[in-house]
Amino acid sequence: MKVSPYDYYSHDEIKKIRSFTEDEINRMSYVKFISLIKEVNKPPGGLSYLLRLIRMMGISERSSVLDVGCNTGYVSFELSHFTKCKVVGIDIDKDMIRTANKIKKFDSFKKRIVFKVADAKNLPFASNTFDFIMDLSEKHEEELDTKEKYVSENVSEKKKERRRKRETPL
Structural domains counted in the chain:
1
Residue 151 lies in a domain: yes
3 state SS for the chain: CCCCHHHHCCHHHHHHHHHCCHHHHHHCCHHHHHHHCCCCCCCCCHHHHHHHHHHHHCCCCCCEEEEECCCCCHHHHHHHHHHCCEEEEEECCHHHHHHHHHHHCCCCCHHHEEEEECECCECCCCCCCECEEECCCCCCHHHHHHHHHHHHHHECHHHHHHHHHHHCCC
State which amino acid sits at residue 39. E
State how far the Cα of 82 lies from the Cα of 64, in Å rounded to an integer.
13
> Letter for the amino acid at 2?
K
Q: How far is CA 63 from CA 16, 18, 100, 155, in A?
A: 39, 42, 21, 11
The CATH number for 82's domain is 3.40.50.150
Could you tell me the pTM of the whole model?
0.68
* Domain residue limits at 141: 11-165
The answer to whether residue 2 sits within a structural domain is: no
Q: What is the pLDDT along the chain (170 residues), one digit of tens a residue?
A: 555 545 667 778 788 888 888 898 888 887 778 777 777 677 777 788 889 989 999 999 999 999 999 988 999 999 999 999 999 999 999 988 998 998 898 888 889 999 999 998 899 998 889 999 988 765 543 444 554 554 455 555 545 555 554 554 44
Q: Does residue 3 lie in a domain region?
A: no
Tell me if 80 is assigned to some domain. yes
